[in-house]
Amino acid sequence: MLNRRNFLTAAVGVAATAGLAACAKEDGSSSNTSSGGSKTITLGFSQVGSESGWRTANTDSVKSAAKEAGYKLQFSDAQQKQENQISAIRSFIAQKVDVIAFSPVVVTGWDAVLKEAQSAKIPVVLTDRSVESDESLFVALVGSDFTDEGRRAAKILEKVLQKAGHKGKVKIAQLEGTTGAAPAIERAKGFKEVMDAEHKDDWEIVVSQTGDFTRAGGKQVMAAFLQSNPDIDVLFAHNDDMGLGAIQAIEAAGKKPGKDILIVTVDGVKDGFIAMSEGKINAIVECNPLLGPQLMEVVKTVHEGGKVERWIKTKESDFMQDQAKDALPTRKY
Ligand code: GYE
């Protein structure tokens, strides 16, 4: 996975792979030529699925940005299954697309298919999530710093606890994202980092399990958490959708979300903001899904054999409950 330490070393790999992109043009394996001599870029994009509001917004952003850029987009939805993403990538290679972009459902298991893309001289751009692979196998990542999001969640929880006047021990339930996915691993890591450094004595994660980034998962797992640990003070959900599902479970158990159980989530989708404006979520760490325009720029540069930054991040903010109502009308997703 990308981190600040290997950021620079990786830049060397970019130059090398950007060179590959140039080769792809020279040897004619990119075959889409439109009138006027300029090439229509064909982009193969393998999406994770449609598990959350974030994902829907991300898909819309990719599709509309590709259209705007005038690219031919081959879009494939993997329904949260790695094997579907691997077959989609293989089919993009067989079709000789110009560039492949994908949002890897989990971090491991990509080397073989990425090597096939490299042998076919098709550059690969990661979007949203990273992989644990040989870094020469992809040119760039367009996506957020999930470890930092985890840290931000812990920092904003400090404010939430203070505002709620919570004193003493804090029993935390964590709803994790998809097991093995970069945002699940890294959000948990960033949160724990702050917790271990600053709240070793007062905060404790008493239960932690995956809800697979879905509302249904969040609801089901939270119901089980409440059975085993009825005295939970805080819920940290790795995304809004799981938090929204958990709210239903909390209400069904006769408790008040946002009061009896303080809730911090990640993403900042509209439904999350609505729940926050109703007082049911206490704070949201924003993770921007509108990656389409930046992705299209990277695709163009890579296709032309140019250099791109290794990790392209978007600007994100944190929101407390009292900001929800004002922010709601201008939320774009
Ligand atoms: O937080 C979650 C989605 O990878 C950042 O995936 C993305 C995450 C997002 O299902 O809602």
pLDDT in tens, 157-216: 999 999 999 999 999 999 999 999 999 999 999 999 999 999 999 999 999 999 999 999
Taking the centre of ligand 1 as the mean of its atom positions, its distance from the CA of residue 55, in whole angstroms, is: 6
Ligand 1 in contact with 176 (CB < 6 A)?
no
**Whole-number Å distance between alpha carbons of 233 and 212:** 22
The set of residues, in sequence order, having a beta carbon less than 8 Å from that of 254 and lying 6+ positions away, is none
pLDDT at 2: 60
- C-alpha 232 to ligand 1 mean position (Å): 25
Q: Please give the number of the atom of ligand 1 that sits closest to the Cα of 53.
A: 11
| CA–CA separation, 253 and 222 (whole Å) | 10
CA of residue 213 to ligand 1 center, whole Å: 7
Q: What is the pLDDT of residue 30?
A: 42
Choose the residue to mutate in 55, 240, 291 for probing ligand 1, maximizing ligand atoms within 8 Å of C-beta: 55
Alpha-carbon span 43 to 98, nearest angstrom = 6
CB 40 within 8 A of CB 71: yes
Domains and CATH numbers, the chain: 4-143+290-314 (3.40.50.2300), 146-287 (3.40.50.2300)
User: pLDDT digit string (tens) for 85-100?
Assistant: 999 999 999 999 999 9
pLDDT at 121: 97
What's the pTM value of the predicted model, to 2 decimals?
0.90
Q: Which parts of the chain have pLDDT scores under 50?
A: 4-37
Q: Which of 52, 266, 313 gets mutated to test ligand 1 (max ligand atoms within 8 A of its CB)?
A: 52
pLDDT attached to residue 298:
97
Rounded to whole angstroms, the Cα distance separating 75 from 182 reads 22
Please tell me if the CB atom of residue 185 comes closer than 6 angstroms to any atom of ligand 1. Answer: no
CA of 289 to the centre of ligand 1 (A): 8
Of 48, 50, 51, 54, best ligand 1 pocket probe by most atoms within 8 Å of the beta carbon: 54
- CB of 149 closer than 6 angstroms to any ligand 1 atom: no
Work out which ligand 1 atom sits closest to the CA atom of 143. 5
What does the block give as tokens for 291? 């990656």
Q: How far is the CA of 65 from the centre of ligand 1 (A)?
A: 19
Say how far apart CA 176 and CA 315 lie, in whole Å.
23
Q: What integer pLDDT is reported at residue 280 of this predicted model?
A: 98
- CB burial of residue 225 (10 Å; 0-12, 13-18, 19+): buried
239 lines ligand 1 (CB under 6 A): yes
Atom of ligand 1 nearest to the CA of 128: 4
Question: 64-92 burial, b if ≥16 CB within 10 A, otherwise e?
Answer: ebbeebebebbebbbebebebbbebbeeb
Task: Provide the pLDDT for residue 315.
Answer: 82
Question: Of 128, 176, 186, 265, which is best to mutate to test ligand 1, by the most ligand atoms within 8 angstroms of its C-beta?
Answer: 128
> 102 CB under 6 A from ligand 1?
no
